[in-house]
Structure 1
Amino acid sequence: MICNEIFRRASADEEDVDDPGILSSSHLPPKQKVKWYISFNKVRLKDKDFAKWLVKENNFTLKYVFCPVTVSMKFEEGKAIADAGDTELFHSLESSLVEALPKEASEWRRSYGRAVKSVFVSASFIPFSKEILPKGGNWQLTHQPVFHVYWTECMDVDVYKMSVRDEIEAWLKTLNQHNIQDWMIVIVETYDLRKSNKLLPRTTVLDKIRSDFASKHADRCLSVINPVRSESRSAESWRGLVTRIRLLVLLAYNRTLLKFEEFIRDQRERRNELGWNFCHYFLLQEELAFVLEMLGLYDEALVQYDELDALFTQFVLNSNVGDTPAWLGTFQVPLEDWPGIVLDRNINQTHRGLIGECRASLLQFRGYLFTRQCTMLQLLSKPWELAQRCLPFLHNCVKELEILEVAAPPGAVACWLFLCSLEVLHTCGTFQEGRHVEACSLYTAGLWAYARDKLHELGALCGLLPGCDPSSQQLHTVVGLSAGMGDSREHGSYPTPTDKLKEALSSKEAFKKHYLELAELAMGTYKHIGRIRSARLVGRELAQFYLLLGERNKAAAFLSDSLKTYEEEGWRDLALRTQLELADCCDKMGDTERFVKLCAVIASAPELDMPTRISHFDKMTAALRDLSTESSNYLLVSITSLVTPLLADPPLTEPLSDCFSLGEVQVTMREGGTITKDSPVEVTVDLDSSLPCPIRGCRVDLSIEEVKTNVSTGVPAPRPQEAPAERRARRGQASQPPPSSVASTLPHRIIVDDPLRQANNPVLSRLSMVEHLDYQQDKSLSSASMASKNTKQYLRRSDSHGRYRKTSVAARSDFSYCLSAEDIVINPGRNTVTLRSKAREKGLYRLGQLSLRVASNLEFLSGTLTPRVGFEVTREPPSVTLNMGGKDLLAGLEQDMVLTVSSGSQRIEEVRGACLKLHASRGLLLQVQSSEESLCQEILVPLLQTEPFTTLSMQLRVMAELPPKRDSSVIEHKEVASHSSLMSSDRMKPRSGDWATTVLTAELPKVVLHCKQYAKCYPPRVPSQVMVQCPWLVEDRIIPLHFKPPFMSTCRLHTAQVRKFVQVVVAGLTTQMVELREPELSVMSDLDLPLMSLNPQHGQKQIAGNNMNVSFMWEVDVDAVQDTPPIKTEFSVKYSPINNVTTLSSEQLFTTYKCNFDVQDYKGSELCRSGTMCHLQLKVTRVNSGPHNSLMYEVLADQTMWAVCGRTAGVISLETVDKQNITLDVMPLIGGYLPLPGIRLSKYIPADHKSPGREYPN
């Protein structure tokens, strides 16, 4: 408030002016509500000339002379109250000032480091008087001035000295008496343009006022030019006046509020004293909130109300565990009325007066405090916070009523809560901006649901629910509740909450209308903000209401939606409760199909008690019997969820079932690990049943899908380097083909319920990481880290990508090719079911969908088995092989071979006359070992009946001719296998004797003295083969056979002076020992050249083998030949294989001891120095056990190279250990590369034992 002193004087005709003048409110603007008076004190003018001069000089034309008047200012936002008299001058000044103050914002710098606020100062004027000045203990800041201004137009120094100075002095004295330090003196100067040449006085009134009253506060005295009289000159001074008033007013408020806050703090500290009253303290702190609200600091005003709210709540909570203050007992009065709150930004003076008189009820106090908080929030444009605070406020009020034990009529509190909720919802609805609507929706959804709950509570109390008829007592309750709500405020644009509640309680139809409307609004708002769970909960309660109405179809729809959400998010208990309600609803609706599905789920729920499960199982079986008589169609129920949303949509599914769950699924493979066409296929399935009773007569089917190996299906084809089985069989490779890349990806055994095998298991996901290195400026490593290439893939929200969403039941697969098991019994718990079928054509197959059919009209379907399990059907043709059993085939010798006929994946039928025909190439002879026929080039082998994957073996004897060989190359024979249905009449060739003869033809060069040459033969190579003819091959199969020569021979001519010698060397090529006899060398030409054999006829056997050669020598009589042409010779020898080789004794077959030794320098250098002592390290290790454990070692060194220091022999024992180390000192005597000293180990024989000779260990 600003007080203004206006001094005016007027001329009068009389000496004495005794008539008072009254200035009433009629002279003021119409909005002014304060009536103030100006009394005219008696002024005695001794000199009429002085009066005339005064009127003339001051340009007064009024009839009366105005005495000093004091005017003050009061702050009220948005209101301007003019406080001038009936003079045009004062009215013009006031209106200009009131209009100019709030045009610009000012910075309010507060104490204690508080934030600087930007506020707009607006003011209204009130007259100055002692009554409006603050008195001790009166802290009503809104009704007392905080700033005072003294206005005067006196420009004459003499007039100032005569009267104005005394008035200002009295004014300031009055302010000092009330401890007021915020004042200002303004001199309004009016310039007369006609007297512009008048000399300026030496001393002005402003200088006198500053020297007399404001020597230390020069800024509080200001001179301003009257803007009415001189607008062009007054602009700058007027702007300075407005700015100075804003600044000083804020400083005044800061000083006043500091004192007020200190007083509030002191009062709050006394809250535990006797006589302290919260109601009085509430009004005191609310004054501070009022001031902050006037200044536009709505957030700080809200803080004041929040502090009061928290303080009152703490008192109530403390009273629950301690003594109750006396003032708190006033809030424990019984409730007599319960009108709702009104959020219209007006202060409820009625409730505020009741609070000041300590007669307000708890709901009235709480309602008033909450309305003030809501008003601040509306001024801050935060409607969402208003809605956010409402629900906790209502719950807190209910709790405080319980703590304080406030008595209330039944339904009174529910009415008040309902009215408050609707009022807040209506207030939030007035904000139509998009951002406000979205923000408010997060909290109004809960308010809609809360209002619906309270309306339902009132409907149950008043008998308005469906199926109830209100009694007379309930009608009286409705009348009492309506009276307690009071009359609604007049508002024609929309019905008030009170009108709505009274209408809802008036009849059952109106109640149903309002209840459904609130429920729909609550559900719609919950869905809008994405809180589907809460929406489903409201829908479930709405379903109960529809059940009471008898509308079961609508109730089933809401229950189905709730059940779907509970199952998707894993709320097992809520899902079971909903299923029980839904089953009862379907039973009453007569929907047997849905009822059967729900009963199956309920019966398999382990959370329910056993009687409930058995009861629903019996209901399911009874319903199935009824269905079988009505329709032959069967139901499709998911084995993984067994629940359908009671609509036409397919049921939902889960990887694991509540009724049946799959355990281990394994394809039974035969010994070979393959499945062939028409062979039986068995799959073992572990099925866990959660039903409480056995199910008989069930049928289990498991569909089989063929994997297409083409590009369109996306399945990779076999690798190109892997040839088909038939091609590999023709190449003589293994009969069992390796699996293709597709087959290798399909396991034959899986565990479906293994959590580690789930596809969506985050533990099994591989992170794509890269290495990140940070280097400093000097290229040194600063840090190393790992970073992900795609962070969005791993950091995305799981719940936004269908984490809880269940897939729908897969469509029924094609069961035309499936594994089946019929008439089985499914017991509770683990069941092992074996499914059987026959393999079809060659290809890759995988298991698809499992079907469990109960009776004939209920089928449980699983989803596709994951991970995929499958098997491969292969086709392996029969094969014929010849093998030697790991030995080499040798030419020129009879050897045993095995003819193996494998049936493959086919069955070989026994047909009369069917046989295998083996035809050998030239130089190769065959014979069936069990036959009496001799070796021949072609044989017939009869075929016997053979089952798939069996082998038929027969012993054969083969012999390949041994042609002359100049090297050790392999002799190749090919065998052709064919089939013949007629027996051959050809006889085999007679067998050769035990001894065979080989012939070597060589051409000797001209006999020249001292010439050393040798001759070899180069015969043409004769290939051999066996052709096999069999019934399952279109073409004859050729089997190549590779024979190695057992030996080879070379011929060389030697000269010794004048004598000539022919040497034939027979070299063994294999491990097979061959004995040679009767070597002969003959001349093939007509030249008669005598050859004298130098070979022994008897004595040592001549044996050729691996690395064993035999030499034969003949002397050529060159004297008998006159001419020396080239001579052709032929070497022949008889050979026979040696099968019995004398074996060495066991003592010579293995090494008993191992000896390592080396010479090292003392210093460990690489070279030893002559004349320097070195170490001879000897290490003896036992490799194999033997009867002798003591050894003697001897060092055998060349005396010219090594000098052995110490003993040169010793005895070591290996009885308890397997390793001994000996260190000897030796010295090299000369430089250079020296051979190491020798070490000799001997079996140690003690002196008391006699031995015929020395024995050396191996």
Structure 2
Amino acid sequence: MANYLAQFQTIKSSCDRLIIAVEDVSDLWPSVKEGFEERLPLKKALLSNKTRNIVNVENLHAEFILTTDSRLRSRFSQELSVFWFREPYATVVLVTCEDLDEFKTILKPRLKLIVQNDEREWFIVFVSRAHPNNDQATKMAKKIYARLQADFSSKKRERCCKLDLQGPDPNFWEDLDSKIVESIRNSLDRRVQFYEEEIRKLTEQRFMPVWSFCNFFILKESLAFMFEMAHLLEDALCEYDELELCYLETVHTSKQRDFGGLERGDDQAALLNPGFKPLTQVVQDDSFREFEFRQYLFACQSKLLFKLFRAVEVASRGYSFIISFSKTLALYENLLPFCFREVWVISACLALIKSTSYHFVDSHASADGKEFFRLQGDLYSLCRVKFMRLAYLIGYGVEMERSPVNSASLSMLPWPKPAVWPLVPPDASADILEKEKMIHQSSSRVKHFNIERKPLPLEPSLLLREANRRRASLSVGNAVELFDGRWVPALLMVQDWMGIYSSLHPVKFMQALCHEPILVQQTLRAHLYHLTVL
């Protein structure tokens, strides 16, 4: 069956909806085509899911195709039942007749030959061309239709319906929809049962030497794809989840195989693109290379989740997958190109952020909004850490920007921090000073308890004079008495630091502040704020 993988991928790429075959016995299709196609997609179709429970499908997409169409005539051999998912799910037989003898001698035998195949779900549409004012033609049409019902319908199932071209009955279209849905449901149930039986047989042979994961994959994905075409998306997702679990167990228990990831462009993650690489290129010894195949499975799962409006779950699954797969890449780091893991994680995070943001709709996820943005933050954080590690690995570690966030992230990484930090670029000093002024101006407009506080000036010399003036105005002997000894180390550090930098130009002052240890920056800002409050 592994030889059928190429055919399977070709068939799957050409199918996107269920097929309803039209057997046009009396050349009626041009006359009724427009009315039939207006019924699509089928509204509120009742189908059976994997657990045989009835599910209401709001819009079931299907396509009418004549049995003489090349798309149906160029089918592969019927022996390949694994491709059963692409066969028509219903057959509409269009007939008309105006003479009872013609019906008995010509039409009836022909219909018997057409419907003798029990594998097809079929029903007959009798089209009457009789004008309402022509009583004789109307009576003859009713008589022929009655014979048609008697010959092809039964008590268990009504297989005939009548369409009057001159004056169509509104009930006909509801009857037509009902018969189409019934045929699709029966076909779907029969095919699901077939695939599950074949999958069960393969599962029982799982630990035997003849077992092939490729055969298992074709059957499992055929079932999943059939569910997807029928808009039973939850069932399709379940099939891909089970397929992933089976593959991971197979990888862990099988002999060492080629991992993959050595081709051009593999460092760009393909988490959301199932068609990134043909599966026929990643097969080895009837199994799939782990690098490409695990991304393919995740892409198929994500596509279904997006159709279910579950972008939050895609982000959650994606973050866990990236963390897990990054550890797997670390095991093969000696075989993969330099910095491959870092580049792959970065591209995976960015692709996941972009795609989930696009599909996230507030109206569908108001309750999950906080969780979604938390996951987005986790993805950005992971991407950023890998960017920093990549910069370090390729020799730019000493040129990374110094900030409290960078220092916190660097302290948690498994590699040492750079020994020497660079100075702030000269052209950045004006931007830093302007930003500080904007912050103080915006904060000065906030009034707590209707008290307007004057912001501290930015110049070091004025900062020192203002702090001394406010302390002296309280008529306290020293800072120890002022704060009951709780802030002595911090205040002494602030005074020493101000004494050192009081003679600097404002721009130099800001540059110096940016290059102090993080603890000093935080302490200075916190306690200068307390001094301002006093």
Instruction: Answer yes or no: is 1:429 the counterpart of 2:368.
Output: no
State the Cα distance separating 1:89 from its structure 2 match.
4.5
**Unmatched runs of 5 consecutive residues or more in structure 2:** 1-13, 433-488, 501-518
1:988-1038 Cα deviation digits (max 9, x unpaired): xxxxxxxxxxxxxxxxxxxxxxxxxxxxxxxxxxxxxxxxxxxxxxxxxxx
Q: What TM-score does the superposition give when structure 2 sets the normalisation length?
A: 0.67
Instruction: Answer yes or no: is 1:293 the counterpart of 2:220.
Output: no
The 2-side partners of 1:239 and 1:458 are apart by 63
The 1-side partners of 2:93 and 2:169 are apart by 19
Q: In the alignment, residue 455 of structure 1 is paired with which amino acid? A: F
Instruction: Answer yes or no: is 1:97 the counterpart of 2:25.
Output: no
The 2-side partners of 1:80 and 1:135 are apart by 17
Q: In the alignment, residue 290 of structure 1 is paired with which amino acid? A: F
State the Cα distance separating 1:376 from its structure 2 match.
1.3
State the Cα distance separating 1:105 from its structure 2 match.
0.6
State the Cα distance separating 1:164 from its structure 2 match.
1.8
3-state secondary structure, aligned to 1:650: helix
Structure exhibiting the larger radius of gyration computed from Cα positions: 1
State the Cα distance separating 1:341 from its structure 2 match.
3.8
Match of 1:963 in 2: none
Which residue, out of 288, 293, 296, partners 1:365? Answer: 293
State the Cα distance separating 1:380 from its structure 2 match.
1.5
State the Cα distance separating 1:318 from its structure 2 match.
3.4
Instruction: Answer yes or no: is 1:466 the counterpart of 2:412.
Output: no
Contact 1:146 1:182 in 2 (8 A): yes
The 2-side partners of 1:549 and 1:155 are apart by 95
The 2-side partners of 1:432 and 1:130 are apart by 42
The 2-side partners of 1:267 and 1:449 are apart by 43
Contact 1:336 1:408 in 2 (8 A): no
Identical columns (%): 21
Change (3 A) 1:550 1:388: same
3-state secondary structure, aligned to 1:136: coil
State the Cα distance separating 1:443 from its structure 2 match.
0.9
Which residue, out of 219, 224, 235, partners 2:170? Answer: 235
Match of 2:472 in 1: none
Contact 2:152 2:159 in 1 (8 A): no
1:408-429 Cα deviation digits (max 9, x unpaired): 1221222222211110011123
Match of 2:315 in 1: 387
Within-5 A mapping of 1:1009-1024: none
Match of 1:537 in 2: 408
Match of 2:252 in 1: 317
Match of 2:522 in 1: 645
Contact 1:134 1:144 in 2 (8 A): no
The 2-side partners of 1:248 and 1:195 are apart by 35
The 2-side partners of 1:121 and 1:248 are apart by 13
The 1-side partners of 2:361 and 2:40 are apart by 32
3-state secondary structure, aligned to 1:332: coil
1:1219-1242 Cα deviation digits (max 9, x unpaired): xxxxxxxxxxxxxxxxxxxxxxxx
The 1-side partners of 2:54 and 2:231 are apart by 15
State the Cα distance separating 1:167 from its structure 2 match.
1.8
Change (3 A) 1:544 1:651: farther
Which residue, out of 344, 347, 350, partners 2:277? Answer: 350
Match of 2:90 in 1: 147
Change (3 A) 1:646 1:367: same
1:140-183 Cα deviation digits (max 9, x unpaired): 2442223223221124321122222222222233x24xxx0522
Contact 1:374 1:386 in 2 (8 A): yes
3-state secondary structure, aligned to 1:350: coil
Match of 1:582 in 2: none
3-state secondary structure, aligned to 2:352: helix
Q: In the alignment, residue 384 of structure 1 is paired with which amino acid? A: V
Contact 2:305 2:311 in 1 (8 A): yes
The 1-side partners of 2:209 and 2:184 are apart by 38
Match of 1:159 in 2: 102
Which residue, out of 335, 351, 372, partners 1:407? Answer: 335
Which residue, out of 155, 159, 162, partners 1:220? Answer: 159
1:172-217 Cα deviation digits (max 9, x unpaired): 33x24xxx05222222222224523557259833343444444455
State the Cα distance separating 1:275 from its structure 2 match.
2.8
The 1-side partners of 2:393 and 2:333 are apart by 21
Change (3 A) 1:342 1:95: farther
The 2-side partners of 1:137 and 1:164 are apart by 32
3-state secondary structure, aligned to 2:277: helix
The 2-side partners of 1:404 and 1:280 are apart by 27
Match of 2:476 in 1: none
Match of 1:246 in 2: 181
Change (3 A) 1:546 1:391: farther
Match of 2:259 in 1: 332
Which has a greater percent of helix?
A: 2
Which has a greater percent of strand?
A: 1
Change (3 A) 1:255 1:165: same
Contact 1:418 1:455 in 2 (8 A): yes
1:283-302 Cα deviation digits (max 9, x unpaired): 32112221222222222222
Contact 1:339 1:416 in 2 (8 A): yes
Change (3 A) 1:361 1:93: same
The 2-side partners of 1:199 and 1:385 are apart by 60
The 1-side partners of 2:236 and 2:138 are apart by 55
Q: In the alignment, residue 382 of structure 2 is paired with which amino acid? A: Y
Instruction: Answer yes or no: is 1:457 the counterpart of 2:384.
Output: no
3-state secondary structure, aligned to 2:46: strand
Instruction: Answer yes or no: is 1:277 the counterpart of 2:216.
Output: no
Change (3 A) 1:161 1:341: farther
3-state secondary structure, aligned to 1:150: strand
The 1-side partners of 2:283 and 2:169 are apart by 49
Match of 1:106 in 2: 45
Match of 2:445 in 1: none
Q: What TM-score does the superposition give when structure 1 sets the normalisation length?
A: 0.30
Change (3 A) 1:271 1:193: same
3-state secondary structure, aligned to 2:263: coil
State the Cα distance separating 1:269 from its structure 2 match.
2.8
Q: In the alignment, residue 220 of structure 1 is paired with which amino acid? A: R
State the Cα distance separating 1:219 from its structure 2 match.
1.0
Match of 1:168 in 2: 111
1:309-351 Cα deviation digits (max 9, x unpaired): 22222223335xxxx2xxx72x43562331434577x751733
- Aligned length in residues: 428
Instruction: Answer yes or no: is 1:445 the counterpart of 2:401.
Output: no
Within-5 A mapping of 1:579-658: 645-650=522-527
1:235-261 Cα deviation digits (max 9, x unpaired): 222321122212221222122212222
3-state secondary structure, aligned to 2:390: helix
**Unmatched runs of 5 consecutive residues or more in structure 1:** 1-73, 468-511, 524-534, 558-619, 632-641, 653-807, 813-1258
The 2-side partners of 1:237 and 1:811 are apart by 82
Match of 2:134 in 1: 195
Change (3 A) 1:406 1:262: farther
3-state secondary structure, aligned to 1:550: coil
State the Cα distance separating 1:81 from its structure 2 match.
9.8
Contact 1:132 1:145 in 2 (8 A): no
3-state secondary structure, aligned to 1:200: helix
Change (3 A) 1:394 1:351: farther
Change (3 A) 1:332 1:80: closer
The 2-side partners of 1:369 and 1:84 are apart by 38
State the Cα distance separating 1:134 from its structure 2 match.
7.1
State the Cα distance separating 1:393 from its structure 2 match.
0.8
Match of 1:659 in 2: none
The 2-side partners of 1:222 and 1:356 are apart by 50
Which residue, out of 541, 548, 555, partners 2:421? Answer: 548
Match of 1:897 in 2: none
The 1-side partners of 2:178 and 2:528 are apart by 77
Q: In the alignment, residue 423 of structure 2 is paired with which amino acid? A: G
Q: In the alignment, residue 309 of structure 2 is paired with which amino acid? A: S
State the Cα distance separating 1:536 from its structure 2 match.
8.1
Q: In the alignment, residue 277 of structure 2 is paired with which amino acid? A: T
The 1-side partners of 2:259 and 2:336 are apart by 10
1:817-849 Cα deviation digits (max 9, x unpaired): xxxxxxxxxxxxxxxxxxxxxxxxxxxxxxxxx
Within-5 A mapping of 1:669-818: none
Change (3 A) 1:251 1:292: same
3-state secondary structure, aligned to 1:264: helix
